[in-house]
Structure 1
């Protein structure tokens, strides 16, 4: 006759759900901080050319992206099949570019306005005439810092 008896019921203790809301909110805040929102829908074909000497842009500098190329099949009804310029989510003519650039630049803080960069993401099949029109419009808006977005590789690869 022993003094101590063991319970042999075999039941598992209930799972504590007290910390569950903390875990849910921690996951929510994590995904809110690491998720990147999409800026705009790409309405033009964009296969950028290759270049051997490339450099990454600083994340600190404000960048305005200008896309140029043939419209994708979904948007060919609106703009036809000729080369188009896209800023944000709409097609624009080169004459509209200076106003849009000045509008974007005026929305920046004063200390960032002199570091403003315009990035051209031009399809490799786009005619140079439209690129020249874009550059002249940027010159009219005094947006003289221009970067061309490319991929790293041999630029003469397809010409050999």
Structure 2
């Protein structure tokens, strides 16, 4: 088995070229390998600031746009409701069992940040994607030590893919 990427776009800021999707698939494989994730699926949605603002407000209670959101499917949290999937046939598998989660990227925000940081849009979207993937696996950056660990992992993966600063 392997880690799969399913993506869609609801934004009109840029056309998502096949080369970018291939790059994100490469980053997903590198990140999964680094984190010893052998199988799973990641859903990726490209949106604009208005779309990510709505999601940030509705699901996190933060009333402003952000650059990337991650919603883990495998996370154990007392705060999130447990979804029970019942199957009629005992031989059927839970269709969500292999789902690692969803990553939502604001292309509008990514474009602005790429200009601000002086690197390519491809590098910024790649960074946001890897950042989101690590969140799906439970990484966070609430403390300085957590942020250093996450930053180190992100940069190593991006460097492997040739997307260093």
Structure 2 length normalisation: TM-score? 0.28
**Bigger CA radius of gyration:** 1
TM-score between the two structures when normalised by the length of structure 1: 0.29
